[in-house]
Amino acid sequence: MVNFADVVAADGEQRERLIAELVGEMTLREKLNEMAGNSSDLKLAVMALAYGKWTFDSGGCRRLGIPPLRFTDGPRGVCMGHSTCFPVAMARGATWDPALVMRVGDAIGVEARAQGANFYGGVCINVPRHPGWGRCQETFGEDPYLLGVMGVASMAGAQRHLMACAKHFACNSIEESRFYVDVRVDERTLREVYLPHFKRCVDAGVASVMSAYNKVNGAYCGQNLHLLRGILKSDWGFDGLVMSDFVRGVRDGVEGVMSGLDMEMPRRWRFGGRLKRAVRHGIVPMDTIDDAAARIIRQKARFAAVGEPGRYGKEKVACREHTDLACEVARRSMVLLKNEEGALPLDRDSIKHVAVFGRLADRPNIGDRGSSRVSPPFVVTPLQGIRDRARAAVQVLYDSGKDLHRARQLAVWAHASIVVAGLDYHQEGEYISKHWAGGDREHLGLSAGEVELIKAVADESERCVVVLEGGSAITVADWVDEVEAVLLAWYPGMEGGHAIAEAIFGDVNPGGRLPVTFPASESQLPPFDKKAKSVDYGYYHGYRLFDKEGMTPSFPFGYGLSYTTFAYSDLRLSDTEVAPGGGVEVTFDVTNTGGVAGDEVAQLYVGCRGSVVDRPLKELKGFQRVSLEPGETKRVSLTVDTSELAYYDAGSSSRIVEACDYEVMVGGSSAEWDLRLKAPFRITPA
């Protein structure tokens, strides 16, 4: 008799043969047990109030030595115990630093293993088609290329220690109607906009993919034959397991299994008696059940020996190394949106009185309180961070801003005023019910009270700085012209207050760049109805839509200022003509032309000229974050693979690398005025 240990000890073709033998020895009950969570009603009731108190377990067979899966969540840290709370994924996207994101994934993997988990579901890579989506904060940005690169980095870091799951497959970007909305999308848009980042994770070896709640073209994602069995398993060759989203992720167990769903979580509802009877009556072939069980066992075997056992002690949870990493990420995610006449950084030698305003200044504000909630042992607020960094040389006073007359008086007294404003879990986050905080945003601006406070303080202050907190784009047109500086902090994690203060006082030079477009007006965005029963997802959103319509945002995708300046020069292409299947190496110089050290995010976009199909003016195809000392120049090298330039032809069900002219554009953001270097090349016929 084959035992699970035999499977683990083997590899390659031998392992696959042993998996088949092991599944052949399993009873139908044992196979179905692998295919569903086993959380009790009591456990689920407790978890509804204290999500992450335990792992969500599934499967396991003592007779054959098969271990259970122990699942935990957490896009910004492990949702168990008092784990490290990192800045939200959108903030990590703003770092444009895959290596740093991988380190975060590694730390999360360690803390998950230390608390008994072997399966992690925090790699959220949905496209935020509209910034009003309540869970934008859980994903890495609006662009499929950026999403894919960052998603792979996060997944790869975590999978040093345990299985990871990429979610939610697919087209999940409306929160309040997520259980019923039907997303209508044509095949080309689906393949080019909403799926490439998932394929990148599949190609990189992600263990699992989680289906979404919503429908796509009339079929629920958990039983969508085209998505799961057609694209994911057949076209892409995914050999991992497909699990449902929790509770309402499966509507029909028989249809789900037939369509390619392998596991129902967090317990058996639709994968129960009816499914068992369907198998016994031949409605569901045993081969289909065997394939699902084999996929689960394959990943269990693959990750059975993965990890570094010496790193999984309880002392690793929220250890100093990880909280320091959280602070580093927060520092590198800060985006300086405005800085008139050197308003920032504040000079401790000349700024002696600082006034801090706003309800969020003295409040822990680390993001959503749904399934991404983390409960760290402490949170450094912006006010605490500013006081710690100001030191004895600077007097810091705080006012909530409720009394505008008092706020004005304090602003007159201060040499610099800092207003902390933005969003919290009341305004955006996972939607559970109308009685639960969170959900989608109907309006993208600040509250009327915060706008009134900013204007009042700006009227009286000689230097007004606004620190914004939130998980996505915030419209600023009604107040931004009245302040001297704006620093975007996102939901900056447990050490965020320190990072904010370091940026304000110049101990850190902000180097983050926007992973989403900040519109000047909501009218510039695609329609968004958070209660929609059906919605059409078009080909354009984000910076691609702004380019197509010739619209000017408040702040473009990829944008961010610095306390120094940068210049680009000497653009060179390895080839001006390349065949399909080849690549073009793009090299250029980036120079720090200012007086302090800083980071620039060099971005490479490619546009297709003369295409036979409608295409974006440009698409992100490469980037690199570069650290430079004053006067220093570094050579940057990025490679564009021609396969990245293909479009999907629905008629032939294939990706086509078009033989025509292309243009490389390099600069500091997606804005036309910020693309400093350009050069043409051509893809020749095959």
- Let me know if residue 420 belongs to a domain: yes
Q: Would the pLDDT of 155 be above 90?
A: yes
DSSP E strand stretches across 15-97: 56-58, 69-72
Q: Which long-range contacts (CB under 8 A, 24 or more apart) does 681-684 make?
A: 681/573, 681/575, 681/576, 681/577, 681/578, 681/584, 682/576, 682/577, 682/578, 683/577, 683/578, 683/579, 683/580, 683/642, 683/645, 683/657, 683/658, 683/659, 684/577, 684/578, 684/579, 684/659
In a 3-state reduction of DSSP, which class is residue 582? coil
Same domain, 301 and 443: no
Final residue in a domain of this structure, among 518, 549, 580: 549
C-alpha closest to that of 191 among 543, 549, 651 = 651
CATH number assigned to the domain comprising residue 582 = 2.60.40.10
In a 3-state reduction of DSSP, which class is residue 75? strand
Q: pLDDT for 375-398, tens place per residue?
A: 999 999 999 999 999 988 899 999
Final residue in a domain of this structure, among 549, 579, 602: 549
Q: Would the pLDDT of 51 be above 90?
A: no
Mention every residue, 6+ apart, whose C-beta is less than 8 A from residue 672: none
Q: What is residue 432's predicted lDDT score, i.e. its pLDDT? A: 81
- Let me know if residue 667 belongs to a domain: yes
Same domain, 239 and 344: no
Same domain, 544 and 574: no
Same domain, 511 and 397: yes
**pLDDT confidence bin for 43, thresholds 50/70/90:** confident
Q: What is residue 346's predicted lDDT score, i.e. its pLDDT? A: 97
CATH number assigned to the domain comprising residue 476 = 3.40.50.1700
Q: Which amino acid is at 601?
A: V
- Where in the sequence is the domain holding 10, given as residue range(s)? 1-39+168-305
Distance of CA 99 to the CA centre of its chain: 15
Give the residue numbers annotated as catalytic, written as ranges.
Answer: 245
Final residue in a domain of this structure, among 549, 583, 599: 549
Same domain, 279 and 400: no
User: What is the rounded CA–CA span in Å between residue 668 and residue 565?
Assistant: 11
In the chain, pLDDT over 70 holds for what percent of residues? 100
Q: pLDDT for 656-678, tens place per residue?
A: 999 999 999 999 999 999 999 99
Same domain, 365 and 483: yes
Q: pLDDT for 63-101, tens place per residue?
A: 999 999 999 999 999 999 999 999 999 999 999 999 999
The total number of structural domains in the chain stands at 3
Q: Would the pLDDT of 40 be above 90?
A: no
